[in-house]
Amino acid sequence: MTDSRLGSYEKCPRRFFYTHVLGLGGARKPTAFSRTHDCLYELLRWLADARRSGDPKLHEAEAAFEEIWKVRGPADHAFAADYRKLASRLIAALLNAGAGHRFRKAEPLAIDFPNGRVLVEPNELAEMADGTVVIRRVRTGYKRSDEYDRLEYTLYELAARSEFGAAAIVQALHLTDETHEPVVISPTKLGNRHKKSDTLLGGIASGEFPPEVDAVTCPRCPHFFICPSAPTGALQLD
């Protein structure tokens, strides 16, 4: 169980069931915007490898992104040049946010709950000049007003404390805002969400997958036309 999958279960247990238990996938119709952001996340993976052996410069990152863009980008779109220009701005923000950091391999960090284990998969793992470990979650868009109320940030914080103790901080990087900042969660909220995470894990283990009905999000779900159909009784996947 990963942090993103537990977050998916929190949003809608039935969608989680179709996507991750039955393995039906979560396909969405790609847009020029989403394809551009997918290219940026692919560059993030390239950068994670490149930074462990050196300090890649902007022109090197741009060259790597261009190869990704040729294969996966919306090069045939009427506004392809504008999307490519946007991507260049976000690439520069990504590199600037890493200045002065020594990057490590971003391996999953485990959190053990009474009802199971969650693996947090950080986008970046680095060390500052003073030895502080930075566990970073990277988003290509804007910071939302309720950003740090999302379950994933609590899981990042719990994983950081479990693995590194007080010698680590969690940072959120929002490329469109061109900002990176420490994630601050109050002890009360952290404790409540720790309990909630364990409750969610218990629900998955006991096979509780009720639909979370929402008039806005449901029609965009890839399983909209088969929900809430599900078999009763025990389930065995071959």
Mean per-residue pLDDT over the chain, rounded? 91
Pick 230 or 6 by higher pLDDT: 6
Mean predicted confidence (pLDDT) in 214-234: 83
Mean predicted confidence (pLDDT) in 174-201: 94
**Model confidence, pTM:** 0.86
CA distances, 87 to each of 39, 137, 191 (Å): 9, 18, 38
Q: Are 92 and 58 in contact (CB under 8 A)?
A: yes
Q: How many residues comprise the chain?
A: 238
Indicate the Cα dihedral angle 86, 152, 43, 36, nearest 10°.
-40
What distance in Å separates the CA atoms of residue 61 and residue 59, rounded to the nearest whole number? 5
What distance in Å separates the CA atoms of residue 3 and residue 135, rounded to the nearest whole number? 14
The domains of the chain are located at 32-97, 103-207
- Supply the DSSP string of 134-195, one letter for each residue: EEEEEESSPPPTTGGGSHHHHHHHHHHHHHHGGGEEEEEEETTTTEEEE----HHHHHHHHH
pLDDT in tens, 47-93: 988 888 888 999 999 999 999 999 999 988 999 999 999 999 999 99
